Structure 1
Amino acid sequence: MNAVHMVRGNVMRKVIASVFVSVDGVFEDPSWSMPFWNSEAAKFADEQLAAADALLLGRVTYEGMAPAWMARAEGADTGTERMNALPKYVVTSTLDTPEWNATFLTGDLAAEVTALKQQDGGDLLVFGSGRLVNALLAHDLLDELRLWTLPVVQGGGRRLFGDDAPVKTLRPVGTTALGSSGAQVHAYVPAAAPAAG
């Protein structure tokens, strides 16, 4: 999915993953990211949320985010209102009662995400969701990976790409420095694998 795909005369929707990672690749429970949050990070987050018209989430991320964001609904700011209003597509085989404007995807992941990409609309934004990110990469369904790389070494915790991660070649398409915090967002898109030498 490296080229521009056309569906019914329209450009296919993009799946964009936006993930906080430490320098050593840990993404699990990124509460350690808060000291690096500043106005530049908020601006970047607001812009990517504005470009999306749905979230695509793994079950664990959904279960962590849903109660926190729903609790912020009363007297919410514009960003919170948007986050709560967006449709959420949640990949799960265990949940059965959707909340937080969610639809559960319980069938074949590749087929269901391909169908979502073929619909009209803006970006499908993935937060966290490490297993989902790996599966999307494996099925060539991830159009852009944004790694919010924070200048901290965690030493332990679940890494975004473990020993079972798919082997893929990525092409860097931009880096955004988030002020003086040292945090940067590195953006990558799928690239053709280099020819064997």
Structure 2
Amino acid sequence: MGKIVVSMYVTLDGVMELPSWTAPYWNDEIAKFELDLLSASDSLLLGRITYEEFAARWPERDDEEGFARRINEMPKYVATTTLTKAEWNAAFIKENAAEEIANLKKAKKKLLVYGSGTLVEKLLEHDLIDELHLLTFPLVLGEGKRLFKEGIDQKKFMLTDSRTTDSGVVISSYVPDK
């Protein structure tokens, strides 16, 4: 059985939208954490908006650590009902997203999700998340899209690890409490 790992950046007030606000806090600890997650994954699983943002930025990037090379080369599965032209090593999941993603997981795929708030809510709804990593940045934005909307069903998680980076970002790792 494969697994689905989610890595999400949030503010203290739960905002996850357009995380350009992470730049002042970015450091080698966060970069290593993300490279380790990416290196342990077979493929990316993204929502349409995150895919479009990443596909516009990452193909032109390069770095000494190998993150850019890895993210550019790895397969991507994109949950979308509107995109028609697959680029950047992508395959589209158009219908029955929860079922198709569950099948990828059964096929022993190790899928990493970045951003993709709507997709994460769908994964949570269908109990498809195996690990949830929240990187909580020490600021309050006061507005923006929140990680979880009101009205979702209660889900319990167990904290498996927590650490604070030198820049004050708290990295909390959870698994479902089944």
TM-score of the superposition, structure 2-length normalised? 0.95
Aligned 1:25-104 pairs, distance under 5 A: 25-72=14-61, 77=64, 78-104=66-92
**What amino acid is the match of 2:169?**
A
Distance 2:118 2:154 in 1: 14
Q: Is the 8 A contact 2:3 2:108 kept in 1?
A: no
Q: Is the 8 A contact 2:2 2:107 kept in 1?
A: yes
Q: Is the 8 A contact 2:13 2:140 kept in 1?
A: yes
Gaps in structure 1 of 5+ consecutive residues: 1-11, 193-197
Q: Is the 8 A contact 2:12 2:140 kept in 1?
A: yes
Counterpart check, 1:130 vs 2:135: no
Counterpart check, 1:119 vs 2:107: yes
51 and 41 in structure 1: CA distance in 2 versus 1, 3 angstrom threshold:
same
| Number of equivalenced pairs | 177
**What amino acid is the match of 2:28?**
S
Deviations 1:110-159 (A, max 9, x none): 210111001134x2000000011011010010111110001010100000
Secondary structure at the aligned position of 1:187 is classed as: strand
Counterpart check, 1:189 vs 2:175: yes
Secondary structure at the aligned position of 2:154 is classed as: coil
Shift of 1:164: 3.1
Shift of 1:76: 5.2
Q: Is the 8 A contact 1:134 1:166 kept in 2?
A: no
Distance 1:44 1:158 in 2: 24
Give the corresponding residue for 1:177: 164
Larger Rg, first or second structure (1 or 2): 1
Give the corresponding residue for 1:150: 137
Distance 1:155 1:98 in 2: 36
Percent identity reads 46
Secondary structure at the aligned position of 2:9 is classed as: strand
Secondary structure at the aligned position of 2:172 is classed as: strand
Counterpart check, 1:164 vs 2:158: no
